[in-house]
Structure 1
């Protein structure tokens, strides 16, 4: 039998087709694995430093230095807890930190979304602490979709007492029971 005749046999044609089908299936499997890995990547998140609105009498007379230090601590605490959860890919805000700190992120006309977009973020968090007095303080976290500008969720809690511990516990509560709680603030 000549080589040309052997190539035309049904057995050879089926074997050749099987190899082609196997290659196609392997290519499809590789594409599906790549696509599912891309879907499994957690969203990129920019967490901006918290801001303070201090309308308290002590703040007016003595300034807000302890509160400003606490803002830095709770901002870092939030970043750490969210990173450890594995549900977000935290981005370094250093390239825009100075500009963000010189803006009022709560009232700058969505400049926070612009800063987050410059970082390549899909989601962004801004936060605010409002101090009415040493006994009445409110902590607010705002999670937004950078692409659409839509607010995904707001987490808010009042705290009583102006101490490092009360600020830290309030932040832990909001992260654990709001931001990381199952189905809380999920995008659809």
Structure 2
């Protein structure tokens, strides 16, 4: 069979006309701090936790693959404990209660002011099973290092390819 220019473009045109896949709803839980440094939590670290939570929500939404849901209605329930970082089923239940398909749990482990790790787990809201887990080590307890760590995780892990997180 001989292909003409017109028929060679047909598959490309049909794939472009295919409906876009709907964004997956996700509950990005407020990040937690696990401080084993002995230095104690500071207001700056609490601000950084809020900052990276917002960075995750915006980055996932900007990808078009995810549609973050507002965590506010579940904050009081989650604050009563146990923390989602130690209770994956609690995170999955909170996501399901908000109609989200996935839950994203983020824990920043502070070993010292120089050594920190960002750990992220994506959970299926219906089953509570992990869909993915990623981590990045960062150096320095600064806004810049925290932002850079989250940006790296978004770019190279959470949104790395069409199958990432799905």
Query: Is the pair's TM-score, using the shorter chain for normalization, greater than 0.5?
Result: yes
Mapped to 2, the partners of 1:179 and 1:125 lie a distance apart of 10
Runs of at least 4 residues of structure 1 off by over 6 A?
A: none
- Aligned residue number for residue 138 of structure 2: 159
Matched pairs, number: 148
Mapped to 1, the partners of 2:71 and 2:113 lie a distance apart of 30
Structure 1 unaligned regions, length at least 5: 1-35
- Aligned residue number for residue 51 of structure 1: 32
Q: CA deviation at 1:185?
A: 3.5
- Aligned residue number for residue 100 of structure 1: 78
Normalising by structure 2, report the TM-score.
0.83
Mapped to 2, the partners of 1:169 and 1:64 lie a distance apart of 20
Normalising by structure 1, report the TM-score.
0.73
| Greater Cα radius of gyration, structure 1 or 2 | 1
Mapped to 1, the partners of 2:51 and 2:143 lie a distance apart of 9
Mapped to 1, the partners of 2:131 and 2:165 lie a distance apart of 7
In the alignment, structure 1 residue 142 sits paired with structure 2 residue 124: no
Helix, strand or coil for the counterpart of 1:58?
coil
Pick aligned residue for 2:63 from 65, 70, 85: 85
Q: Is the Cα–Cα contact under 8 Å of residues 88 and 123 in structure 2 kept in the other structure?
A: no
Q: Which has the higher strand share?
A: 2
Mapped to 1, the partners of 2:63 and 2:88 lie a distance apart of 31
Q: CA deviation at 1:73?
A: 0.4
Q: Which has the higher helix share?
A: 1
Mapped to 2, the partners of 1:158 and 1:109 lie a distance apart of 22
Structure 2 unaligned regions, length at least 5: 1-17
